[in-house]
Amino acid sequence: MNTRKIQLPTFLERDRTPIVDQLLDLLKEQNKRIDLLTDEIKRLKNLKKKPNLRPSRLRDDEKKKSSMSHKKSNPKQSSKTPKKKSVNRIEFVKAGNIPEGSRFKGYRYYHVQELVIRIENILYKLARWQLPDGRYIVASLPSDISKSHFGSVFKSYALHQYHHQGITQPLLLSQLREWGAPISSGQLNHLLIDGKKCFHQEKDEILPAALSVSSYINVDDTGARHDGENGYCTHIGNEWFAWFKSTKTKSRINFLELLRDAHKDYCLTKESFAYMKRYKVAPWIRSKLGPDAKRQFENKDAWEKCLDDLGITNAHYKRLITEAALIGSLLQHGFSKDRVIVSDDAGQFHVFQHALCWIHAERLITTLIPSSESQIEEMEWARSQIWDLYHLLVDYKASPNKAMKDKVTKQFNAFCDTKTNWRLLHLALKRLDRNKNGLLLVLERPDIPLHNNLSESDIREYVKRRKISGLTRSEAG
């Protein structure tokens, strides 16, 4: 089903008339109706809907008593037992009412595993010496204390429960207090978010290191909410790493800035001009940015000043030129043109070599709503064709060869060129045909995946955190 929203054109103020304003309002209303109809179709077909980001209720939950229901689990116990078990404590159990004349024959062993949870209040007495000149020397605390009033095991447990197990802050606070820990909500909040500079530094080092050794990356984004405002969280990763960043937009400029990482410059190269030509930037604008213009710009302010000086004010052209300059900056800093970006066909990721997810391609057919038996049969036929092609590509990845490559290409072309009586299916096949280069890029690059499931799985951890906590309020998280 073709559910693409109408792209609203950009008009200068001098070009706006009452009729233009009425038409824009009409287009906005049409976009809203498209969103509502798309959500209803997904609901009827039990497909994943767009997340509904609601305001956080953390402060209200903190005042109420929190209760957590545990799922019943029946783990399968292994019939095999370890040959040796480390013993931390030995308990001797005496037998009662032993008849006279009985002989002691040693002990029968019975192993029990127990979990020991207790709060220990430790008092450190720091040696204090007065020097002959009147100054004092005081012994230092152990390095794992770091002038905190909570031990390393206490802190690591709280961090593990919150970040790994998905326990909310109010529930974690309630649990610690039930164990007898005299900790306030403010102390727990500081324990969870303060002093994590080393983790942020490590996170900042992940992306450039991973990009230097990765031939492809999976990308995806999802809704995020910070300080009461909607935003987006972008994931970049593959089998070896996962990197996340929350920003206010999910535009292509935003994605290129994330790939650029710590660099802030803008650069115009031959690849930049090829990009502008591909997206039909007017020749007179390209000529202004030609050989006589400055090619390197230190930061955003210098770049925007250059555009203003050249009289380039049209928002559409400014966006395309900025994307081109960011691509030039990326390539200047070592980003490989051969690196493949695998996505779900979101427009912001369509740069460099772009491969598409076959699972999302199949959803183009799944979202259609047939109204007759013949349309049901046509839809099932189309889905079976997609999965046939998918399995052929799986075989090709395992053993690439020219004969298989030609077979897949020929079968894909025949599938997309099929004439159907169902117009919606016909449009879906045409869209698959337009996405041919991205879907069949694996024929040239057998090393890349056929789907974007890895990125979807990685970002699900963030979605879970968003559902639990709602939003972040401070820049520290």
* Digit-coded pLDDT (tens) for 11-58: 677 677 878 778 888 888 888 888 888 878 877 777 766 666 666 565
50 in a domain, yes or no? no
Q: Which amino acid is at 51?
A: P
Same domain, 275 and 337: yes
Q: CA angle, corner 106, sides to 103 and 112, nearest 5? A: 140
Same domain, 257 and 345: yes
Same domain, 169 and 286: no
Q: Which amino acid is at 321?
A: I
142 in a domain, yes or no? yes
Q: Where are the beta strands (DSSP E) in 178-262?
A: 216-226, 229-237, 242-247
Using a pLDDT cut of 90, give the percent of the chain over it: 34
Q: What is the dihedral of CA 264, 268, 273, 274, to 10 degrees?
A: -60
Q: Where are the beta strands (DSSP E) in 276-392?
A: 296-297, 340-343, 353-356
pLDDT at res. 474: 66
Same domain, 264 and 288: yes
| Prediction pTM value | 0.69
More confident residue, 62 or 268: 268
- Other CB atoms within a 10 A radius of the CB of residue 289 amount to 22
pLDDT at res. 69: 45
Cα 45 to Cα 27: distance, rounded to the nearest angstrom: 27
Same domain, 166 and 312: no
Same domain, 371 and 427: yes
Q: Are 276 and 324 in contact (CB under 8 A)?
A: yes
Closest CA to 223 of 473, 471, 474: 471
Same domain, 165 and 237: no
pLDDT band at 79 (very low <50, low <70, confident <90, very high): very low
Same domain, 240 and 335: yes
Same domain, 462 and 442: no
Same domain, 347 and 368: no
Q: What is the dihedral of CA 172, 173, 178, 182, to 10 degrees?
A: 140
Domain count within the chain? 3
Q: Give the structural domain span for 270.
A: 216-351+455-469
More confident residue, 128 or 38: 128
474 in a domain, yes or no? no
201 in a domain, yes or no? no
Cα 290 to Cα 277: distance, rounded to the nearest angstrom: 13
